[in-house]
């Protein structure tokens, strides 16, 4: 028979275990609620947070009347708002603002606090270094540059430009052409000083940093920047223009999330800083040297040999697909070498960027085909499977179009093909397409 004191001891131990279990359950519940609430608040489920965001957007609309023009194109409106938010966070953000800015990024590629601080400290210095324009004035130029950069999607802006005989649909070209020939169509223009206007026009004019980052063309993608002489004559304007591009990158997924940047992660930051390094080389080096240095960096990230013609093409493809790791490089190479010999030869010939002449027209939206295929989950649940399918469906199609239209007098526009890659990817395997007189490539 068990003594009474032993029974009491067992009861006490059982009670302690129960209390410990309840405590652990409570702790787990709190942790889960905190984690869930963090995501919910960033998605505006909390009413107060939602109201604050709406109030801020209304302030932006009151400050920039052109934002109203973008409301008919809602994704572009949301992206532009996110670009403005990114501008504020990068210039003014404290650590808690940084945490919100990166909270929805995958943990393994999340932008680092150190990288964020580098951007912030650098740009704060740039804002103080513009001759004849104070910090508030430079900031206004940055905001106007961000808003006007999206005006090719605003029917009102397009109609006003058409009255001034400006017919242009491409994003960067529309902005630059209207600022040169009919800037008065923009309300913001009237509220800028002469020095602000000059800074705006000069900062936005040279080069397409997106095409450089993703190696969409050959060395000629660096040519407009080299030709502009901005790096020698107005390096501060270059810094302003490049920062506008960073804000555009940060806000490019703003139609999905307007508080946390889904795109300006650590890998993206590394790519931006590497291409900026090559841009700065143009002060003294040739565009071929700048291109080769950046291509070599992309090869190094993928674990590839920058001196191998095969690996140079793979590195260019990797840049288009936003790939950064040696594992990515290995899978990319394996998938590539499984292509039929005829396709391999054609792709190597057409995508050998270093061989392209300086005056070769750079296609647009070519990387979007590969990215849309890679992100298309109908092509496979596993990343490796989707990457392989993206290579096998996208590259032969791209190479065939490039081969058949080498002597086009207009730039090829792969945007319609990128939409097909998202919606009906198997169409690309037929290698059949139509080409509009404006250069739009549409798979049949």
pLDDT (tens digit per residue) in 74-107: 999 999 999 999 999 999 999 999 999 999 999 9
Q: pTM of the full predicted structure? A: 0.86
CA-based diameter of the chain, in Å? Answer: 105
Residues of the chain with pLDDT under 50: 6, 9, 19-48, 50
Are 35 and 41 spatial neighbours (Cβ–Cβ below 8 Å)? Answer: no
The terminus-to-terminus CA distance of the chain in angstroms comes to: 88
The residue with tokens 């009413």 is 47
Are 149 and 178 spatial neighbours (Cβ–Cβ below 8 Å)? Answer: no
Q: How many CA atoms lie within 13 A of 199 on its CB side?
A: 29
Residue 41's pLDDT is 35
Residue 46's pLDDT is 42
Are 409 and 438 spatial neighbours (Cβ–Cβ below 8 Å)? Answer: no
| Residue 442 DSSP SS3 | strand
Residue 108's pLDDT is 95
Helix (H) or strand (E) holding 100: helix 95-102
Residue 27's pLDDT is 41
User: What six digits make up the tokens of 333?
Assistant: 């190479």
pLDDT tens for each residue of 368-396? 999 999 999 999 999 999 999 999 999 99
């Amino acid at each position: 028979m068990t003594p009474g004191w032993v029974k009491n001891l067992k009861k006490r131990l059982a009670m302690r275990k129960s209390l410990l279990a309840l405590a652990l359950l409570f702790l787990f519940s709190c942790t889960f609620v905190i984690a869930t609430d963090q995501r919910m608040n960033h998605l505006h489920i909390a009413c107060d947070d939602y109201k604050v965001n709406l109030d801020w957007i209304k302030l932006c609309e009151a400050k920039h009347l052109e934002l109203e023009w973008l409301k008919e194109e809602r994704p572009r409106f949301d992206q532009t708002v996110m670009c403005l938010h990114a501008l504020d966070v990068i210039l003014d953000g404290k650590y808690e603002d940084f945490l919100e800015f990166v909270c929805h990024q995958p943990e393994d590629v999340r932008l680092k606090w150190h990288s964020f601080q580098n951007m912030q400290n650098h740009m704060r210095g740039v804002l103080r270094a513009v001759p004849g324009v104070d910090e508030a004035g430079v900031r206004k130029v940055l905001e106007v540059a961000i808003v006007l950069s999206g005006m090719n999607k605003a029917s009102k802006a397009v109609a006003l430009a058409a009255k001034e005989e400006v017919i242009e649909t491409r994003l960067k070209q529309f902005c630059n052409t209207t600022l040169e020939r009919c800037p008065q169509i923009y309300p913001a223009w009237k509220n800028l000083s002469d020095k602000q206007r000059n800074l705006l026009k000069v900062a936005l004019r040279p080069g397409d940093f997106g095409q450089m980052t993703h190696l969409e063309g050959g060395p000629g993608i660096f040519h407009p920047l080299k030709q502009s002489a901005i790096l020698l004559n107005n390096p501060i304007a270059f810094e302003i223009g490049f920062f506008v591009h960073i804000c555009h990158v940060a806000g490019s997924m703003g139609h999905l999330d307007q508080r946390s940047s889904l795109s300006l992660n650590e890998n993206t930051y590394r790519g931006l800083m590497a291409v900026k390094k090559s841009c700065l080389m143009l002060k003294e080096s040739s565009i071929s040297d700048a291109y080769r240095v950046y291509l070599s960096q992309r090869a190094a990230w993928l674990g590839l040999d920058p001196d191998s013609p095969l690996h140079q093409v793979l590195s260019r493809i990797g840049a288009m697909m936003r790939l950064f790791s040696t594992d990515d490089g290995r899978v990319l190479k394996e998938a590539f070498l499984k292509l039929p010999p005829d396709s391999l030869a054609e792709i190597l010939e057409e995508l050998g960027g270093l061989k392209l002449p300086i005056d070769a027209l750079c296609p647009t939206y070519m990387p979007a085909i590969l990215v849309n295929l890679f992100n298309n989950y109908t092509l496979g649940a596993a990343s490796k499977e989707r990457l392989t399918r993206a290579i096998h469906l996208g590259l032969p199609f791209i190479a065939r179009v490039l081969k058949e239209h080498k002597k086009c007098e207009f730039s090829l526009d792969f945007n319609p093909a990128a939409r097909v890659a998202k919606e009906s990817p198997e169409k690309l395997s037929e290698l059949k397409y139509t080409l509009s007189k404006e250069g739009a490539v549409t798979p049949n």
